[in-house]
Chain A
Amino acid sequence: MRLLQLLRQTLRPEIVAAACAGLLLALPLSAHAAFDLPELARLMAQVKSGEALFTEKRSVAMLERTLESSGRLTFAAPDTFVRETLKPRPEKVSVVGNQLTLTSGNRTRTLRLDAVPEAAVMAEAIRGTLTGNRQAIERNFIATVSGQPQRWTMELVPIEPQVRDLVRSVQIAGQQSWVREVTVLMADGDRSVMSIEQVSSVRAASAPN
């Protein structure tokens, strides 16, 4: 229903009406056949915590060459996500609940995540996907899931206009309950691609149905 509300905000009424009709028709089918966001969230939620290595390549128009960095990602349900950059310089971004902690060198700063929308958008995209938090994703993005469980992609377009002025979309590609690649397309054409390699993961004792 939330999705419908969002559509209503962004589209003209006649299109909404058509879309609603389409959705209603598609509903019985999608529940069985298509791989959608609820299905993906269920899949992802089976993993309670995990650790991975990442390498990120960022291309920025005004810079002479591509920026590369690498480090470690850890997450734990329900709401903890840490991105620790090891190269070229140590840096850490950790998100626990609504608290954002940034560590760089010997400096540490704590912020409320919801007070910094430009940081929240990235945190919610990755944390929400890794922990299978469908509500968090739908609150912030219009999500389009395609593919099959063994090879899926999800496109996240920010709902908030101010955020959309910065980030055009976040594309997440995965395999079963693991994320392989996160691509961020900035509104000004810059882009970053983060490749993720799984190290370990802890699954729930009994997968929720």
Chain B
Amino acid sequence: LTPPEGLQRAAVLLRRGVLVVWLACVAAAIGIAWRTHYVADLSAFLPSTPSAEQAVLLDQLRSGVAARLALIGLEGGTPAARQQASRQLAQALRESGTFDAVHNGDNTQFEATGKFLFEHRYLLSPAVDVQRFSVEGLKAGIDDTTSLLGTPAGALIKPVILRDPTGETVRMAEGMLPAQSPRMDGGVWVSRDGQRAVLLATTRADGADLDGQQRALQQVRERFAALKAEGVRLILTGPASFSVDSRDKIKREVEVLAIAGGVAIVGILLFSFGGSLRTLLFAVLPVACGVLAGVAAVSLAFGNVHGMTLGFGTTLIGEAVDYAIYYLIQARSRAGAPPGDGARRWTAESWPTVRLGLWTSICGFAALLFSGFPGLAQLGLFSVAGLAAAALTTRYVFTVIAPDGAPGVGMRRRLGEAVGWCSEVLPRARWPLAALTLAAAAALAWWPSAWHANLASLNPVGAEQIRLDEELRQDIGASDNGTIVAVAAADEAGVLAQAEAAGERLDKLVASGAIGGYESPARLLPSPATQQRRRDALPEPAVLAANLQAATADGPLPARRLQAFLDDVQAARQQPVLTLASLKDTPLAAALSAQVLPGDGTRPWRALLRVQPVDTQPVDLAALRSALADLPGTHVVNIADEVSSLYARYLREALVQALLGALAVCLLLALHLRSWRRLLRIAQPVAASVVLVLAVMTGLGVALGILHLVGLLLAVAIGSNYALFFDQIRAQQDSQAPGPGVAIDTDTLASLALANITAGVSFLLLAFSSIPVLSAVGQVVAPGIVLSLLLSAAFIPRRQA
């Protein structure tokens, strides 16, 4: 295949052209990666085609309030010191401008809100109807209100009773006070045991704006430190703190892992290539190109790159470095061969095998591309693009810049001999190994499924932090895992009316003691129809005056003292109906933004009614569902259930995709090899190592999740390369004439061993990561690929010389 003189010159030019194209690609990828937006919120791991209940969960997450919460606890010191610190910290944070709202139970800040509500009481109070202003209605209302006077509860109504004798203020407050409020001590929120003051702050920065959230949390720490509260400690949890901590932790660990992996790999390479710096640089080239291509592809396709995808990217080092090792060893020049012979020989002999390995890997990961979860699809695309870039760099760039592989022998002759020895000994253990695999498969079938890891297993935040967060949420009554009644309608008026309809049903459940209470946006902002009805119920001045006269005839509050009431009712008859728009820039708008999620062309308007249990008992979902069954567009959503069902769906979908991917890989191999025998030969060791790893993990009681599955895919992708090489050797032997003198290619074997060791070491490092996402991948891949190599040697015996 030696080209004529003229063509050779063209080939040189072409090679230079290849380099130029490659450099341009690298530059473009760097440019894209530089400008990429990196995200760490959960939304990438939410389904794009949700069920009705999941849609509620998603809308709630998208509304962003949940992601902007910071839960603050103050512990230690005396109760008085904690209470003072709570007041001062809340004040300082409100002034800092980095928070939309800071709640600590101190209601003095709500003076403006209270005034606004009071001025609109005849539109907002649930008690207002025609009957309310009749003689009997007025009398009952005034009796209700005066009965509060002279008790501690009456102290709040006393200053306004002459303007509000029927107690509309009380009725509004009743609806708005949550059933699960925190304990009050010294005028601020404290935990139920009183040992901790608690605050709830909403950051101004968006949930996705991690830098902004980090600054907000830093504000909390600095302002707290400035208080110099004696003996009082600050605790900071909540979604904002979780995301910032996770990002820091992932960043830190990815750095450490990259350095440790790099050092290990460099060590191994030096050991096997005898200390050539040039070889080292070459070896990391496909890795770097792979990661860059992965980031660029994901960024182009999804508009952002998730932190988890990036973390996963470091695992790609393991497979990408294999390509470099295969080439650098297998393409080294033979004695007496012309320059460039190594590259030609490698392209002819080994590249088809590497290419086939690449195709099988791509097949496996491409299955993830069709995932309904953008996050999983990102992982798939990242792997496909990364592996392709690494392989192409090896094939087209290495053949130009290192046409004769890497010089230096180092220890790799020994390595080759060791693998050669293994491949002679291991086939003897073939039947016991097969029996072991069958036993493992039987055990897997017999044992209950271990695929039951939950979403929390993806959380890089430690268990201690999660427990603390749950405690603070209990204190504040802001549990994440509550029950929500969600109603949907086409517009604002519709969704508020719908919330009122659901509220009527819920009122009955509160009365019967089935639920403790509920929060509804319609209490803060009734539907326009309801407000109009209330306004229409307000009588004309003369009628009201006459009714009031009759109602107070022998009562404790004479009508002559209630002129202000008459004036207020008359003023209310002219009040415009309140809407979300008219509440803009009031504290009420902030409260409503968590409960009313505006729709757009594709999504309906949604209102969320948070249901509170009776004391600490769980809410009876069946009773709730049956009470609301015939209301259109209404769903009862248990957040904890939905989150776990979401993850279960996620896992189920990924399992099916992985199986489809495996099927596609088999199909591809069958088409390429056109031999059932060879297909079986290659599938055996890979499938056996998957079964063995799964059996050991299940036997150890590890809860398997999505990342273990992705790890298995990766193990299959890498492991199948070894099987393919063993198969290539066997096929070469088979094609040669039988008899003595069959060359044992120790270099190919050495390259396999070296690739296996480097990949194994880098995944072993991952297995010890404290980030669950990374350790899950490492735990599966490291043993999986080592087993794949050993089993390939055992199950694909070389013909004995």
B488-513 contacts to A (CB < 8 Å)? 510-511, 513
| In the complex, chain A residues whose CB is within 8 Å of the CB of B557 | 63-64
| In the complex, chain B residues whose CB is within 8 Å of the CB of A108 | 510-511, 513
Nearest B residue to A114 by beta-carbon distance? B183
- Complexed CA–CA distance, A110 and B513 (Å): 9
| B261 CB, min distance to chain A CBs, angstroms | 53
- Contact across chains for A69 and B149 when beta carbons are under 8 A apart: no
| A85 CB, min distance to chain B CBs, angstroms | 8
- Complexed CA–CA distance, A35 and B511 (Å): 44
**Known interface pairs A63-B557, A112-B183; A118-B147 also in contact (CB < 8 Å):** no
**Known interface pairs A60-B150, A62-B161, A67-B149; A118-B144 also in contact (CB < 8 Å):** no
A114-135 contacts to B (CB < 8 Å)? 114-119, 121-122
Nearest A residue to B127 by beta-carbon distance? A107
- Contact across chains for B556 and A59 when beta carbons are under 8 A apart: no
A9, A112, A119, A167 pick with most chain B CB within 10 angstroms: A112
- Contact across chains for A109 and B510 when beta carbons are under 8 A apart: yes
Nearest B residue to A85 by beta-carbon distance? B147
- Complexed CA–CA distance, A108 and B155 (Å): 21
| In the complex, chain B residues whose CB is within 8 Å of the CB of A162 | 186-187
B153 touches A (CB below 8 Å): yes
- Complexed CA–CA distance, A62 and B159 (Å): 10
- For the complex, count residues of B whose C-beta is within 8 A of A: 39
- Contact across chains for A62 and B149 when beta carbons are under 8 A apart: yes
- Complexed CA–CA distance, A26 and B195 (Å): 33
Select the stretch in B173-181, B535-543, B668-676 that faces chain A.
B173-181
- Contact across chains for A190 and B144 when beta carbons are under 8 A apart: no
**Known interface pairs A109-B179, A192-B150; A114-B184 also in contact (CB < 8 Å):** yes
Name A residues whose Cβ lies closer than 8 Å to a Cβ of B: 9, 58-60, 62-65, 67, 69, 88-89, 91, 97-99, 104, 106-112, 114-119, 121-122, 160-163, 166-167, 184, 186, 188, 190-192
| In the complex, chain A residues whose CB is within 8 Å of the CB of B155 | 118, 166, 186, 188
Name B residues whose Cβ lies closer than 8 Å to a Cβ of A: 80, 140, 143-144, 146-147, 149-155, 158, 161, 174, 177, 179-187, 192, 510-511, 513, 516-517, 555-558, 612, 614-615
- Complexed CA–CA distance, A88 and B147 (Å): 10
| In the complex, chain B residues whose CB is within 8 Å of the CB of A191 | 150
| In the complex, chain B residues whose CB is within 8 Å of the CB of A110 | 179, 510, 516-517, 612, 614
- Contact across chains for B185 and A160 when beta carbons are under 8 A apart: yes
- Complexed CA–CA distance, A111 and B153 (Å): 14
| In the complex, chain B residues whose CB is within 8 Å of the CB of A188 | 155, 158
- Complexed CA–CA distance, A186 and B155 (Å): 9
| In the complex, chain B residues whose CB is within 8 Å of the CB of A9 | 80
Picked from B161, B182, B513, B558, the residue with its CB within 8 Å of the CB of A115 is: B182
List the 4 shortest-distance A-B pairs measured between CB atoms, nearest first.
Answer: A118-B152, A115-B181, A114-B183, A63-B556
| In the complex, chain A residues whose CB is within 8 Å of the CB of B612 | 110
| B171 CB, min distance to chain A CBs, angstroms | 9
Q: How many A-B residue pairs have CB under 8 A?
A: 107
26 A-B pairs whose Cβ atoms sit less than 8 Å apart in the complex: A60-B146, A60-B149, A60-B150, A60-B556, A62-B149, A63-B556, A67-B146, A67-B147, A108-B513, A109-B174, A109-B179, A110-B510, A110-B612, A111-B177, A112-B180, A112-B181, A112-B183, A115-B183, A115-B184, A117-B185, A118-B155, A119-B152, A161-B186, A162-B186, A186-B152, A190-B149
- Complexed CA–CA distance, A160 and B186 (Å): 7
| In the complex, chain A residues whose CB is within 8 Å of the CB of B181 | 111-112, 115-116
- Complexed CA–CA distance, A67 and B148 (Å): 10
| B579 CB, min distance to chain A CBs, angstroms | 27
| A170 CB, min distance to chain B CBs, angstroms | 10
- Contact across chains for A122 and B183 when beta carbons are under 8 A apart: no
| In the complex, chain B residues whose CB is within 8 Å of the CB of A91 | 147
| In the complex, chain B residues whose CB is within 8 Å of the CB of A163 | 152
- Complexed CA–CA distance, A121 and B556 (Å): 26
| In the complex, chain A residues whose CB is within 8 Å of the CB of B180 | 112
- Contact across chains for A58 and B174 when beta carbons are under 8 A apart: no
**Known interface pairs A106-B511, A107-B174, A110-B614; A63-B184 also in contact (CB < 8 Å):** no
- Complexed CA–CA distance, A161 and B182 (Å): 19
| A51 CB, min distance to chain B CBs, angstroms | 22
Given contacts A60-B150, A99-B614, 6 further A-B contacts (CB under 8 A): A60-B149, A60-B154, A64-B557, A122-B151, A122-B152, A162-B186
- Complexed CA–CA distance, A106 and B140 (Å): 13
| In the complex, chain A residues whose CB is within 8 Å of the CB of B150 | 58-60, 67, 184, 186, 190-192
Nearest B residue to A106 by beta-carbon distance? B511
Picked from B80, B161, B558, the residue with its CB within 8 Å of the CB of A64 is: B558
| A160 CB, min distance to chain B CBs, angstroms | 7
| In the complex, chain B residues whose CB is within 8 Å of the CB of A60 | 146, 149-150, 154, 556
